[in-house]
Amino acid sequence: MRSHPRFLNRSRRSKTVLAAATSTLLLLTGYTAASSPPDSRTDAGLGPYLEQELDWGACEGTATSTADAELFANPALECASVEVPLDYDEPKGEKAHVALLRLPATGEAEGSLLVDPGGPGGSGTSFVASTVDLWQASPVAERFDIVGFDPRGIGSSTPALDCYTDDEYDAGAAPRFGVVYDITSAEQAAELAARCAEGSGGVANLVNAGSANVVRDMDILREVLGDDQLTYLGYSYGSQLGAMYTATYPEKVRAIVLDGAIAPDLTAPEFRFSQFAGLQARFDDLAAFCAETADCVLGTDPTAASDRLHEIVQPLIETPPTADRRKVNIWDVYVGISGGLFSQAKWPDVIAALTALEAGRADEMLALRDRFYGRTADGGYALDLDTNIAVRCMDWPRLTPEENTALARRLGEVAPMFDLDVFTAGEYHSECEAWPAPPTGDEPWLARIEDLPETLVVSVIGDPATPHEGGIAMADALGASLLSVDGKQHGAYLLGGSECVDRVVDAYLLDLQAPPVGARCSL
């Protein structure tokens, strides 16, 4: 009999909606090697948590930003909060609260579809609220309550995890990410850890943020929502959580969709290599697209486009331009470009922003950067960058300064569009070097077990952020069905405008009808 994985255990709507939704799917820094969750039989002592009754009510008072307040004012939406142990080793100790937002089923509800949009750092409550019109047109919402959740530390969940203010992120005063974080000393790493502990209300809140605890929270959510088995949709990093849940609680799985699936068989550096290679491939495609016009800002030779990009952005290192009363640094520019590469539909926006940048105008590039981070008009960030760091620091085996420096150099080789001294020529320390607890993750993060329930992996062949090879590996590891999708975008179901994709996923979620071997759609 074929073996399947088990966790190693050592201790079509508007472009506006599409942009808002896909901004939460994945941070470039956001791949996490999953922490080792416990065997499902060890979840003793959780009775009071499993017996909670949800008090659904209006959502306006739960929003943490003006943008969410506007979304949450929709009378079709309901909100609630679920208590979970802060530390599962001490279930009678301090509690955390996980925020939920649901769109009730239009018909008789057969259960709930739990949704996570990725990150780490993405808010499921915001995601569902911003995609209400997509769900209301979906047959899934006739039979299932659509429930977005904010993983611990994120959005409306408490305790919140905070290291830097939104203003500090605007000003470039927080650690900046190129191919690794620009942390060049042990002192900087220690300052980051101290700020995060202080801003998050203490070390205990910080070190319990890892993925293993989120998966255990998900099982409490399933029980409190009244479902004997979990029906779940996870994008990008959310696919990691879904795979972890499947391997930890296989008997409690009804249907799990993993869209933009992360490779389970790669170490964190190996995945980073594959991700940057995917970004470079999409940049090469963008350059070829641009070269079809004689006045292309990247030139008419796509093979020289990376060098041409360097010519455009190099001056920003010493003299960053200003837009919206903010300095636009080179890290901002590369976030904007990378975010634009997540969807082929955004390529013209990247080209226009580069054209304007060369002419001395940075506003269009800043808009791309802000869109990727989900920055709102009032200066709030939809993506929780601090929680992203906290989750990764608890999940990732940590690199030494020598290993992190070598990683930066290698990533410049894998993705020459990033091969600038400001990104690759320094001496780099891990942002997690001084974290107040050791990581809990293993690599590889899946071992083999048998007889997992059938799940569904959706993987876009030209996905720049979670390459298709990883989707194939995820489907193989879980014994899952695989839907391959022709296109060049990160994430497909509901967000890709493909009736074919939506039809296949709907059939699985509603009636557990898996697609045939070799199933294929296009965006």
- Tell me if 7 sits within 8 A of 37, measured CB to CB: yes
| 3 state DSSP class of 502 | helix
Instruction: For residue 459, indicate whether it is catalytic.
Output: no
Query: What strands lie across the sheet with 520-522, from one edge to the other?
Result: 78-85, 95-103, 145-150, 112-116, 230-235, 253-259, 456-460, 481-486, 520-522
Q: Give the Cα-Cα-Cα angle 394, 399, 403 (nearest 5 degrees).
A: 165
What interhelical angle do 401-414 and 268-290 show, nearest 10? 30
In whole angstroms, what is the distance from residue 406 CA to residue 402 CA? 6
Catalytic residue among 236, 338, 430, 459: 236
Q: Give the Cα-Cα-Cα angle 233, 334, 237 (nearest 5 degrees).
A: 15
Residues 6+ apart with CB under 8 A from 74: 59, 129, 132
Quote the tokens at residue 275: 């991700």
Q: Give the Cα-Cα-Cα angle 33, 231, 125 (nearest 5 degrees).
A: 75
371-398: b (≥16 Cβ within 10 Å) or e = bbbbbbeebebbbbbbbbbbbbbbbbeb
Give the β-pairing of 3-6 and 447-450.
antiparallel
- Tell me if 106 sits within 8 A of 10, measured CB to CB: no
Catalytic residue among 68, 150, 166, 463: 463
- Tell me if 473 sits within 8 A of 511, measured CB to CB: no
Write out the H or E segment, with its range, that includes residue 351.
Answer: helix 347-358
Q: Which has the closest alpha carbon to 246: 396, 510, 417, 34?
A: 34
In whole angstroms, what is the distance from residue 298 CA to residue 300 CA? 7
Give rounded-to-5 percent helix, strand, coil for the chain. 45, 15, 40
Instruction: For residue 87, indicate whether it is catalytic.
Output: no
Q: Give the Cα-Cα-Cα angle 382, 385, 389 (nearest 5 degrees).
A: 150
In whole angstroms, what is the distance from residue 499 CA to residue 520 CA? 12
- Tell me if 120 sits within 8 A of 392, measured CB to CB: yes
The single-letter DSSP state of residue 119 is B
Catalytic residue among 36, 490, 498, 502: 490
Instruction: For residue 463, indicate whether it is catalytic.
Output: yes
Active site members: 236, 463, 490
